[in-house]
Amino acid sequence: MTKAEIIAEISNKTGLEKVDVQETVEAFFKVVKNAMIGGENVYVRGFGSFVVKKELRRLQETFQKNTAIIIPEHFVPSFKPAKIFVEKVKNGNK
């Protein structure tokens, strides 16, 4: 499902204009991105958590050049679904 399809479905279910729904969805994503860029986690009860994970420094071997490079520690965005959400997806795909 694409973002456009999500916007269309929300618009159909709520009766709101697609432009208003699009602005709201874009604002939500912007808030989540800015929070995570600032190092904050975002928790949505019943859905999941958008968390910033710290990847430790590691050694990466390249077999083509037969060398190794050091990848410094860095942060990556991650999503962890809520337990209730996971259970609904497990039961809903049957």
Domain boundaries, the chain: 1-40, 45-94
Check whether 93 has a pLDDT greater than 90.
no
Amino acid sitting at position 26: E
Task: Name the residue with tokens 């050694």.
Answer: 59
pTM of the model: 0.77
Residues 17, 23, 25, 28: is their CA dihedral positive or negative?
Answer: negative
For residue 56, give Cα distances in angstroms to 8, 53, 70.
Answer: 41, 10, 11
Task: Name the residue with tokens 């958008």.
Answer: 50
Check whether 92 has a pLDDT greater than 70.
yes
- Can you tell me the mean pLDDT for 34-62? 93
- Can you tell me the mean pLDDT for 41-65? 91
Work out the pLDDT band at 64, boundaries 50, 70, 90: confident
Architecture of the domain spanning 45-94: Irregular (4.10)
